[in-house]
């Protein structure tokens, strides 16, 4: 039984390898061109395959996009969401989320959601449902942190928690898209954005 460490790859290895290559190429393409501008032949070629391989692994373009969306969400959870769990103070957790998100957005795949969300907003489409579900999860998480921080007394009152949480997410994503995840200032501005929207004073000078 040949595994990934063996010289001759097994079928499952081949499948997994090509699948992740296709997924990554599709994620890059989605974040650059959006959904309907994404052409599957280009995706397959960038991954080193043809459309045949793609349709062997994914039932349709929509199925591929859904897989990408959930894959990116998983990566976000692993790379960003985990940072919040390491913090005790909810405000620190929010800062960690913001900075982590900024760093995550330096990867091109991070912009998938914002790139395709407008294409499906308002319509009843599976991709929209997936995006909504993922977004709702993140907003709920942020909202819980804000609620804790308000109980804690470290965050002043203001608009409803859910509104702030949604605004935080949207503002952060817009910020990162604009900065293209390039500058070294992305994390600073992300933290500033969080402070502002929560009603916190600016960070003391280091």
Q: Which is nearer to a second copy, 48 or 174 (CB)?
A: 174
Residues 86-115 close enough to bind a second copy by CB under 8 A: 111, 114-115
Contact letters for DNA, residues 23-62 (x by CB under 7 A): ---------------xxxx--x----xxxxx-xxx-xxxx
Partner that binds at residue 196, options a second copy, DNA, none, CB closer than 5 to 8 Å by kind:
a second copy
CA distance 19 to 53: 9
CA distances from 67 to 71, 151, 154, 196 (A): 6, 38, 39, 35
- Which part of the chain contacts a second copy (CB under 8 A), choosing from 1-9, 33-41, 46-54, 88-96? 33-41
Distances (CA, A) of 126 to 8, 15, 69, 81: 38, 25, 11, 24
* Binding site partner of 57, from a second copy, DNA, none, Cβ cut-off 5-8 A by kind: DNA
DSSP string, 119-146: HHTTS--HHHHHHHHHHHHHHHHHHHHH
DSSP letter for 114, please: H
Partner interacting with residue 145 (select from DNA, a second copy, none; CB below 5-8 Å by kind): none
Q: How far, in Å, are 53, 72, 186 from residue 41 at the CA level?
A: 10, 21, 34
Closest CA to 165 of 194, 192, 189: 194
202 binds, among a second copy, DNA, none (CB under 5 to 8 A by kind): a second copy
Q: Which two tokens stand for residue 4?
A: 């990934």
Q: Which is nearer to DNA, 11 or 182 (CB)?
A: 11
> Does residue 147 touch a second copy according to CB under 8 A?
no
Residues that bind DNA (CB under 7 A): 2, 8-12, 14-15, 17-19, 38-41, 44, 49-53, 55-57, 59-62
């Amino acid at each position: 039984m040949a595994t990934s460490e063996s010289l001759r790859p097994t079928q499952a290895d081949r499948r997994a390898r090509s699948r992740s290559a296709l997924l990554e190429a599709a994620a890059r393409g989605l974040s650059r061109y959006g959904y309907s501008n994404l052409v599957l032949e280009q995706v397959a070629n960038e991954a080193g395959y043809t459309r045949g391989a793609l349709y062997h692994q994914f039932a349709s373009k929509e199925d591929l996009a859904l897989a990408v969306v959930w894959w990116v969400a998983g990566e976000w959870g692993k790379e960003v969401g985990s940072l919040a769990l390491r913090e005790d103070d909810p405000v620190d957790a929010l800062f960690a989320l913001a900075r982590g998100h900024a760093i995550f957005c330096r990867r091109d795949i991070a912009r998938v959601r914002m790139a395709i969300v407008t294409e499906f907003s308002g319509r009843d489409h599976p991709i929209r449902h997936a995006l909504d579900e993922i977004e709702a999860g993140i907003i709920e998480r942020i909202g819980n942190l804000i609620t804790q921080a308000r109980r804690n007394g470290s965050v002043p009152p203001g608009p409803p928690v859910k509104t702030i949480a949604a605004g935080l997410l949207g503002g952060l994503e817009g910020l990162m898209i604009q900065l293209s995840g390039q500058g070294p200032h992305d994390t600073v501005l992300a933290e500033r954005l969080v402070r502002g929207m929560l009603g916190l004073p600016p960070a003391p000078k280091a």
